[in-house]
Amino acid sequence: MELAWNTQKNKLSDVKGKEMEQERKGKLKNKDIDLSRTKCNIDLVISEKNLYQRVKERVDHLKKSGSRVQKNSVVMYSNILTVSEEQANIWGEEKTEQYFKKCYEFFCNEFGEENVVSAKVHKDETSPHMHLHFVPVNKENGRLQARVSMNKEKVNYIHDELPLFLQKHGFDVFRAAGKTKDNNIEDVHEYKEIKKQVEDLEQVVTATAMNIEQLSKKRWELINENETVKREIEKRKEQLDSLTQNISFSKSVKELTQNVVYEKNLLGKKTGNFIIPEDDFRKIYGYAKKSFEKNREVIELKDKLLFDQSGLREKNKKLQSENNIMKKDLSFLRENLALEKKEKEMIQADKNELQRKNSFHENFLRQRNLLEIFQGWLEEQKKKLGKIKQEKEIKKKKNRGMER
């Protein structure tokens, strides 16, 4: 299993939002959450205080110890460690819980147990995962220094060492492919959204492939049925030909008429009538009757064959029409599958481009020690924008009052 780990830095003003998400408070945007299973979620860090209080308490303690904490300082890293639904089913509940406990142990070893302020395993979503939050303290001087304790090298270190640590404890986990910064999404919500889009596309692609397989199978069934209809028509024709050929007299005309005598009048002239023995007459009558019956049977069979043939032609025509529709549907689904694959590639490309830009901007600001300054300036601009909006609203309300 690939290590599924995502990390995000937070200011003190972000902690409340993380607490709401972790504790299932407020309006839930995630439709995959099953609140009836929320009671099964597990806290690995036991405390009567909420997440904000724990972080605030730890930061205040670090301030007293000499840490310089500003309004826009990074005071917490929120991490999500995920086990896929398939892997969780293979491991079972007990081993999956043990996996998260070992991940918690690893982070405690790396950042100090006192700094890992929360670790909560969520079992109320499709894939079990753990929200782990720690305060980024520099172990060398004991100060709050996010840029030192969670720099690029440290992130790469965790990607390398956490799988090895888990392997020693019986978990077949390996590092995910790709460079850390090029493939890491800072925003967890963005990560979940992109992941969901990819999963949705994969489901559509799978369903489309199954539809194509079913349509192909149906097409061959129609072709086979069409061949069966053709064979049935040929069989009926052979029966008719055979029956027609079998209609014949057992004796030739010469044999039947060899005892025939022409009737003559008193003058010895032929009257046009024939005199035949009674036995021959009865035989001729029997042959004629049998021929008549056979002829009637042939006519009935012809009529039936023509009727059946007409029905078979209609059925054949209908099957051919269905076959053509199936071919069109199959072609459409194949085109749709190609478009979905292309859309998936575009989403991945957008994701990679977004990551590249984020990495570039962050590195640019970090190299010039401007990252925290920029974040502070951005926060101030947001507040100013908020004030301007409020003032506009107040003016609108006043103008409405004057108009009345």
What is the structure's pLDDT at 108?
A: 95
pLDDT at 131 over 90: yes
pLDDT at 346 over 70: yes
Beta carbons of 330 and 216 less than 8 angstroms apart = yes
Single pTM value for the model: 0.48
Range 104-130 burial, b when 16+ CB lie within 10 A, else e: bbbbbebbeeebbbbbbbbbbbebbbb
pLDDT band of 104, cuts 50, 70, 90: very high
- C-alpha neighbours within 13 Å on the C-beta side of residue 338: 6
pLDDT (average), residues 192-219: 72
For 358-378, what is each residue's pLDDT tens digit? 777 666 666 666 666 777 777
* Domains of the chain by start residue, with CATH: 4-184 (3.30.930.30), 204-339 (1.10.287)
Distance CA 127, CA 96 (A): 11
Distance CA 383, CA 372 (A): 17
pLDDT at 243 over 80: no
Distance CA 138, CA 147 (A): 9
For 166-189, what is each residue's pLDDT tens digit? 999 999 999 876 544 444 444 445
What is the structure's pLDDT at 10?
A: 93
Distance CA 367, CA 105 (A): 33
Beta carbons of 140 and 130 less than 8 angstroms apart = no
pLDDT at 249 over 50: no
